Amino acid sequence: MNKTIFFIMGVSGTGKTTIGKLLAKEFNIPFFDGDDYHPKENIVKMASGNPLNDADRHGWLAALNELAIKNKKTGAAIACSALKEKYRAQLRTKIEEETIFVHLKGSYIEVKSRLDSREAHFMTSALLKSQFGTLESPTEGITVSIMQTPEQILQEILNQLK
């Protein structure tokens, strides 16, 4: 029997890693941070203040899809921006039935304040406008406001899953 693959999505700074880890713990499934699967070139590009384009993201999304497929029997929580519908389509290739996207949603001002206070991460607030410009809000899945505690966000996700 296949289990759920949760893709925790949204622009940088919305808490994807935090919520992904909480979901993984709740369902006793592994957590994977999509940032760990970026090729070095992507990280260098973003760290220098340049946004990724579709070509930059293609191999990264393919790697995350392979990771999800490998974990479909156990389930997994994967933090990944998944900003466009075509990215989400690539992520759910061969695992459509097992996939749920959890969109962590916040305003530009809310997210920028979080990014500005974050240290030691390659993604800075300089790229945030680009991410908001790229974001196509999903029409399926779960959408949750980031203006709550992580525990409240987790509870809202669980409520929407029922």
Q: Where are the domains of the chain?
A: 5-161
Confidence of residue 112 (pLDDT cuts 50, 70, 90): confident
Question: Percent of the chain at pLDDT above 90?
Answer: 77
5-161 belongs to CATH 3.40.50.300: yes
Confidence of residue 160 (pLDDT cuts 50, 70, 90): very high
Confidence of residue 24 (pLDDT cuts 50, 70, 90): very high
DSSP 120: S
Global model pTM greater than 0.85? yes
The mean-pLDDT minimum among 26-30, 109-113, 121-125, 154-158 falls in 121-125
Which whole number is the average pLDDT over 7-35?
96
Which whole number is the average pLDDT over 121-150?
85
Residue pair 159/124 in contact (Cβ under 8 Å)? The answer is no
Which whole number is the average pLDDT over 62-67?
98
CA distances from 135 to 37, 49, 108, 131 (A): 20, 18, 12, 6
**pLDDT at residue 128 greater than cutoff 90:** no
